[in-house]
Amino acid sequence: DTSKVNDVDSDGDGVLDCNDKCPFDTSKVNDVDSDGDGVLNCNDKCPGVADTDSDGDGVPDCNDKCPDDSMKVNDVDSDGDGVLDCNDKCPFDTSKVNDVDSDGDGVL
């Protein structure tokens, strides 16, 4: 009987999946958007923070390690020195280990 498929309440919140905006959210609060960004908490990557994307790179600021620079891709360390490119003064130069000014002249 296929009609029983519509009678499922996966999260046990008393709302059938076919009517539930968050069918796998175990909280009883079904349509709350606590940060007012238009995304329900159950689908929101950052439910307490509005999902602003300051640099327009498609990554919400709360998850973006480089929130102010769209040219720098999240979590990339091109030269493998342990410093993300967005924070690295020499992102493609492996000889500049951790960007240390070893002689104090202000040049890395």
Could you report the per-residue pLDDT of 1-40, keeping only the tens digit for each? 555 566 888 888 788 888 887 888 776 556 788 888 877 8
The pLDDT score that the predictor gives to residue 50 is: 77
Structural domain span for residue 25: 12-51
Same domain, residue pair 47 and 63: no
Same domain, residue pair 66 and 97: yes
Total domains in the fold of the chain: 2
The DSSP result for 76-87, as a single string, is --TT-SSS-GGG
Q: Is residue 5 part of a domain?
A: no
Same domain, residue pair 45 and 63: no
- Residue 74 CA to residue 59 CA, distance in Å, equals 8
- The percent of residues in the chain predicted with pLDDT above 70, rounded, is 73
- Residue 58 CA to residue 51 CA, distance in Å, equals 10
The tokens of 19 are what? 């009517």
**Taking residues 86-93, what's their average pLDDT?**
81
Q: Is residue 42 part of a domain?
A: yes
The pLDDT score that the predictor gives to residue 104 is: 67
Same domain, residue pair 41 and 60: no
Most distant CA pair in the chain: distance in Å?
A: 78
